[in-house]
Amino acid sequence: MNKLSGLDNIVIVGGDVTGWTVAAALANSLRGHKCTVTLLDVPDIINVEPVQYTAPSTLEFFRHIGVDEDELIRQTGATLRLGTGIHYRNRATDHRVLAFGKQGGTMGVVPFHHYVARQRLLGFETNLNRFSATAMAARQGRVERTDDPGASTLPPIGYGLNMNTEKLTQLLRNNATINGVQALHRGIDSVELHPASGYIRQLRLTDESTLAGDLFVDCSGEAALLIGAAMGVAFEDWREYLPCSRTVAATTKSDHDQTPVHHIAAWDNGWISSTPLRHRTAHRVLYPAEFVTDDDAVALLRAHLGAFEADAFSTHEMPSGRRREFWACNCVAVGSAAAFVEPLDLSTLHMTQRAAMQLAAMLPATPATPELATEFNRRIGEEFESLRDFTHLHYVASFWRRSEFWREMAAYKRPPSLQQKIDLYRSRGHIRSRNNDAWPLETWVAALMSADIWPDGYHPLLDSFDSQQLDEHFGRMRQAIDQATSKMRPHREYLAALDN
């Protein structure tokens, strides 16, 4: 036995989807280990999100906890999401899909997007969506889960899932419980710290019992009961880059829209978004408190929904930002207790899963090993910052709008790391990849081009290409994509077949 283990009891605080995600990850990682995992299901931790979203990379998480993907889709009533449908300008006409997965194909030493940039400068058709089977399928409301959409010439289809929060939580709870996680339903009365080290010694619960542990995972959401309230780790506010901290949400009983995307549109004072679910559609308006009252936001959403009947409208405040440290002493914050990024790209669960897996690989949490905390904080911190930059791009794309809010936003500074990325890209189309970038290069390209940020130049080697020939080559590529997507099934039909 590891003589310095220091890993006998892990306590997870919070019983929503975040807590159970961490519980399932740890229970599966520690199957056969003497360490016990207890989840303290404290009251009042409610996840206001009716839907949980994943990105392609996070399907890995479910493999880790042994959940079959088809089963996952069935049990959580999931729909597929091939990307984000963005409407920066006018909802009806200006529609692009920021699709998961790669565009185009491999063409020698120069990355594909340089060719697109050059063709655009020469006046050829260069809608990036036309070079992505994922994007084209999404636009047609068709889906497929395959690594080989067409004769091995096209990159794999990228997709994530939109899952019912309650059903997913149930699935994770079952999974964790089977693997030995014990749940306790109590509130926290107080948190007892070691006076010298600042480590959490135990929790005093509302029934006057105590709960001790070597490691405490704070999944209590924005309340941050441990990392914030007890440990006093400060929250770094990112509203200067992502100002829409307020949300009005509602779901409608509409199923007219079955496109496998999450739609976002800019409005005068923020964002309005919708995601098609199995039988309903989830809507939300994001806005900054200084510019819009909750009543106005509700009115806007109501008007937007038109004849569709909505359930209750709920408002919520959730500023973007990060905890200075996610892991401090023996307390690790995961989920919105750790950090939150405006949900324009729906990365909350994705980040929770990433953090849970990283945590499982960085145990234990003892005073002898502060380096593990440093490493965890470095990796997760870089990833969140990358996500922040990526999300801010949606703002950059919308600065043309003439409202006071957008004028003010345009005058704000950008995250320096994003500015460098944009400068290099603008100059000659190169993308700088960072450590622990949240998204791969091709997703950045898709986001930049969707945002109408184009390079002023391209790789000089392309000057030796005949642009007419290249256009013909692109034509064949588009044909292959059309052929592949025409064989795919409509989203709803696809899910129905999966259910049977």
Partner 1 sequence: MSQHPIRNILIVGGGTAGWMTAAALARVLPQDFCRIRLVESDAIGIVGVGEATIPAIHDFNRRVGLDEREFMASTNATFKLGIEFVNWGNIGDAYMHPFGTYGRDLNGVGFHHYWLREREAGSAVAFDEYSLPYLAAKRGRFGLPKTEADSVYSTYSYAFHFDASLYARYLRGVAEGLGVERIEGRIIGAELRPEDGYVQCVVLENGSRLDGELFIDCSGFRGLLIEEALKTGYVDWRHWLPCDRAFAVPSDYPGPPDPYTRATAHDAGWQWRIPLQHRMGNGHVFSSDYSSEDRAAATLLDNLEGEPHAEPRLLRFVPGKRRKMWRRNCVAIGLSGGFLEPLESTSIFLIQAAIMKLIELLPDSTMPAPVVDEYNRSMDQMFDEVRNFIILHYKQTARDDSEFWRYCRNMSVPDELDYRMRLFGKRGVATHRNGELFIETNWIAVYLGQKLVPQQYDPRADCLGRDEVSKSLASMREYLVTAAEAMPAHGTTVATHCAGTTALSS
Q: Which is nearer to partner 1, 43 or 367 (CB)?
A: 367
Stretch that binds partner 1, among 26-34, 182-190, 338-346, 348-356 (CB under 8 A): 26-34
Q: Does 168 interact with partner 1 (rule: CB under 8 A)?
A: no
Residue with tokens 């408190």: 289
Q: Does 210 interact with partner 1 (rule: CB under 8 A)?
A: no
Q: Does 410 interact with partner 1 (rule: CB under 8 A)?
A: no
Q: Does 60 interact with partner 1 (rule: CB under 8 A)?
A: no
Residues 349-368, one symbol each (x = binds partner 1 by CB under 8 A, - = not), give: -----------xxxxx---x
Q: Which is nearer to partner 1, 205 or 362 (CB)?
A: 362
Q: Does 178 interact with partner 1 (rule: CB under 8 A)?
A: no
Q: Does 34 interact with partner 1 (rule: CB under 8 A)?
A: yes
| Bridge partners for 83 per DSSP | 99, 261
Q: Does 375 interact with partner 1 (rule: CB under 8 A)?
A: yes
Query: Using CB under 8 A, which of 212, 223, 298, 424 touches partner 1?
Result: 424
The CA distance from 323 to 228, in Å, is 8
Q: Does 33 interact with partner 1 (rule: CB under 8 A)?
A: yes
Number of residues that bind partner 1 (CB under 8 A): 48
Q: Does 493 interact with partner 1 (rule: CB under 8 A)?
A: no
Q: What is the strand order of the sheet 200-205 is part of?
A: 188-193, 200-205, 210-212
Between strands 314-317 and 281-287, the pairing is: unpaired
CB contact set of 488 (below 8 Å; sequence gap of 6+): 137, 140, 142, 143, 144, 149, 494
Q: Does 64 interact with partner 1 (rule: CB under 8 A)?
A: yes
Query: Using CB under 8 A, which of 93, 464, 469, 500 touches partner 1?
Result: 464
Residue positions counted in the chain: 500
Q: Does 30 interact with partner 1 (rule: CB under 8 A)?
A: yes
Residue with tokens 């283990």: 5
Q: Does 29 interact with partner 1 (rule: CB under 8 A)?
A: yes
Long-range contacts of 274-278 (CB under 8 A, 24+ apart): 275/51, 275/53, 275/79, 275/81, 275/162, 275/346, 276/79, 276/162, 276/491, 277/51, 277/77, 277/79, 277/162, 277/164, 277/251, 278/77, 278/79, 278/495
Query: Using CB under 8 A, which of 457, 478, 489, 498 touches partner 1?
Result: 457
Query: Using CB under 8 A, which of 3, 256, 402, 413 touches partner 1?
Result: 3
CB contact set of 93 (below 8 Å; sequence gap of 6+): none
Stretch that binds partner 1, among 150-158, 339-347, 387-395, 434-442 (CB under 8 A): 434-442
Stretch that binds partner 1, among 3-11, 265-273, 340-348, 474-482 (CB under 8 A): 3-11
Q: Which is nearer to partner 1, 261 or 462 (CB)?
A: 462
Residue with tokens 């056969």: 32
Q: Does 4 interact with partner 1 (rule: CB under 8 A)?
A: yes
Long-range contacts of 476-480 (CB under 8 A, 24+ apart): 477/104, 477/105, 477/131, 477/153, 478/130, 478/131, 480/150, 480/151, 480/153, 480/154
Query: Using CB under 8 A, which of 436, 467, 490, 498 touches partner 1?
Result: 436
Report in angstroms how near the CB of residue 196 gets to partner 1 at its nearest. 21
Between strands 215-218 and 160-164, the pairing is: unpaired
CB contact set of 355 (below 8 Å; sequence gap of 6+): 22, 326, 334, 335, 338, 380
3-state secondary structure labels for all residues of 388-409: HHHHHHHHHCCCCCCCHHHHHH
Query: Using CB under 8 A, which of 227, 310, 331, 372 touches partner 1?
Result: 372
Report in angstroms how near the CB of residue 233 gets to partner 1 at its nearest. 21
Q: Does 437 interact with partner 1 (rule: CB under 8 A)?
A: yes
Q: Does 427 interact with partner 1 (rule: CB under 8 A)?
A: yes
Q: Which is nearer to partner 1, 258 or 358 (CB)?
A: 358
Q: What is the CA radius of gyration of the chain?
A: 23
CB contact set of 193 (below 8 Å; sequence gap of 6+): 199, 200, 201, 230, 231
Q: 213 near 10, Cβ under 8 Å?
A: yes
Site for partner 1 in 78-137 (CB under 8 A): 109, 121
Report in angstroms how near the CB of residue 290 gets to partner 1 at its nearest. 35
Task: Give the residues lining the site for partner 1 (CB under 8 A).
Answer: 1-5, 7, 29-35, 64, 109, 121, 360-364, 368-369, 371-372, 374-375, 420, 423-424, 426-428, 430, 432-437, 456-461, 463-464
